[in-house]
Amino acid sequence: MVEYIGYLRDRQVSESWICTTLVTLRTLLETSAYRLGRHDLPKERLIFDDDLPKEKKTLPREIPEEVLAQIREHLSTLDTTMLRMVTILLECGLRISELCSIPFDCLMCDDTHEWYLKFYQLKLKQEHVIPLVNETVVAVIQAQQEDTRAQWGGRSPYLFTRPLKRARGQPLPFVRMTFANRLNRWALDKNIRDRHGRLYHLQSHQFRHSVGMRLINDDVPLEVIRRLFGHHTMRMTQVYARMRAAKVRDALERAALSRKTVNAAGQVVKGDARANDPEVQLVRKGIRGQTLPIGGCGQLVVLGECNYANKCVTCPMWLTSTDDLPALKSFYERANRLRQRAQEVGNQVVVQQQTHIITNLTVRLKSLEEPVGDGTLDLDSQLSQLRTDLAEAEAGLEEAQTAGLLLLVEQYLGPESLEVTEELLDLCGASIDARALPLLQRRLHEEEAQLPQLEARGYVRLREKGEQLIASLRQLIAALEQEKDA
């Protein structure tokens, strides 16, 4: 087995293909040994999780905003069936397989006459019900029901059927490939392009990702999104939280590139972007010459004493950036008020001093307020908002991780004994954390050792319960180890 795993890794194939092959082989071996009673196969596990390629964290592939705007602009030019299908995808986030096979009687109401959509999730092999909050979707489905009824009478079990000439007299579900081909022919006809001016090729599953990103950006709780999309675990929903954090961070970095720093003469001071990293700047602050309320000092402590001491306003080493604009404007207004008061009482020394300061500040403010790149001003407000969004995105990701861990704990404690649960409470208190790892690992070894005995004695129910407990234990241990490493 070790040689075979090494052989797979040496081949020029993708990691996902290797993972699928090993998992399939493991399932075959274990099923043959345990359920088919093949005595020539070992019952101990031969392929472990550590043998599988590490899963890469993927990000959603939602439709870009500029493409989505073009789709909505030309949406009314789609043929009736395609228009209705795209409308449902844009609002509900169904998989295309679920939409093509959605039943004719998919609408249902509760006691308060609120609408719901009922369909079968092929991937998870379960019926799923989601609320419909957009009346347009309800109207679209009802209109499609009327057209399908007029075409097939009451014979069609599907809401969307193939055209009559291809149905061979039987109501068959709409074909996914037909939807994709029609959609991209329409996109080509309407000249839908991305931000780089390239023709955009649409994929059906992107509508689902777009709905997920819209919900996460609207601050819909992750547990609600998980239930709405029918995800078995929170791990799938976490992808949208990671994507939001990545996009906000990217926008923050782009805005930071637009920040500029000027010296006493109003000249822009350029530097290496890597040196402007916040963590690097934090270290540098420890060796700056002066700690200033506004801006920073360009002279380091190691270069000797500062001749300007606390007169930084007149110092050529005083550097200020667009981040300092609000404070600089306040400083400028205060200097003007002080000069006016000095003029009223006749103090010419203060008048001259403040005039010199006001002149220097005017040069700085003019240079900092000049448009950068596309003419965007008020970068301080933009950066502040982006930092807020980033904090919310990171909080959302933390919420997803916490919620995911809670689900794993619930799944584990369900089949666990009261004695062990009580032991966990004594050990960890209100929440299970990394302190429980030794106990959980011990329980995992105990249950794994007990499985062959249960199998040999024919205790089917107890063995199934043990397998369920082992599966939940492995997931919980992996999550706690990951949290501990982080």
Average pLDDT over every residue of 361-379 = 67
Q: Provide the percentage of residues in the chain whose pLDDT is more than 90.
A: 18
Confidence of residue 423 (pLDDT cuts 50, 70, 90): low
Pairing of strands 318-321, 261-262: antiparallel
Q: Which of 59-73, 196-210, 379-393, 458-472 has the highest mean pLDDT?
A: 196-210
Bigger pLDDT: 17 vs 169: 17
User: How high is the pLDDT of residue 310?
Assistant: 45
Pairing of strands 268-269, 115-121: unpaired
Bigger pLDDT: 58 vs 450: 450
Contact 195, 56 (CB under 8 A): no
**HSE-CB for 366 with a 13 A CA cutoff:** 10
Residue 315 has a CB neighbour count (10 Å cut-off) of 22
**Beta strands, E only, 200-266:** 261-262
Amino acid at 123: K
User: What is the Cα–Cα distance from 136 to 143, expressed in whole angstroms?
Assistant: 11
Contact 86, 68 (CB under 8 A): no
User: What is the Cα–Cα distance from 345 to 340, expressed in whole angstroms?
Assistant: 9
Contact 208, 95 (CB under 8 A): yes
With 80 as the cut, is the pLDDT of residue 466 above it?
A: no
Q: Each residue of 242-279: pLDDT tens digit?
A: 666 566 556 555 555 556 666 666 677 665 544 455 44
User: How high is the pLDDT of residue 229?
Assistant: 85
Contact 60, 212 (CB under 8 A): yes
65-218: CATH superfamily: Intergrase catalytic core (1.10.443.10)
Q: Each residue of 302-350: pLDDT tens digit?
A: 445 555 544 566 666 677 777 778 888 888 888 888 778 778 777 776 7
Residue 260 has a CB neighbour count (10 Å cut-off) of 16
Residue 38: C-alpha distances to residues 210, 339, 374, 414 (Å): 48, 97, 71, 32
Nearest alpha-carbon partner for 479 in 206, 189, 235 = 235
Residue 270 has a CB neighbour count (10 Å cut-off) of 8
With 50 as the cut, is the pLDDT of residue 377 above it?
A: no
Q: Which of 66-80, 116-130, 308-322 has the highest mean pLDDT?
A: 66-80
Distance of CA 446 to the CA centre of its chain: 38
**Average pLDDT in the chain:** 76
User: How high is the pLDDT of residue 270?
Assistant: 61
Neighbour-count burial for 284-299, b at 16+ CB within 10 Å, e otherwise: eeeeebbebebbbbbb
Element (H, E) at 152: helix 135-152
User: How high is the pLDDT of residue 383?
Assistant: 59
User: What is the Cα–Cα distance from 102 to 329, expressed in whole angstroms?
Assistant: 61
User: What is the Cα–Cα distance from 349 to 353, expressed in whole angstroms?
Assistant: 6
What are the extents of the domains in the chain?
Answer: 2-51, 65-218, 261-371, 414-485
Average pLDDT over every residue of 83-100 = 92
Contact 118, 108 (CB under 8 A): yes
User: How high is the pLDDT of residue 42?
Assistant: 81
Q: Provide the percentage of residues in the chain whose pLDDT is more than 70.
A: 68
Q: Which two tokens stand for residue 67?
A: 């493409």
Residue with tokens 């110092």: 315
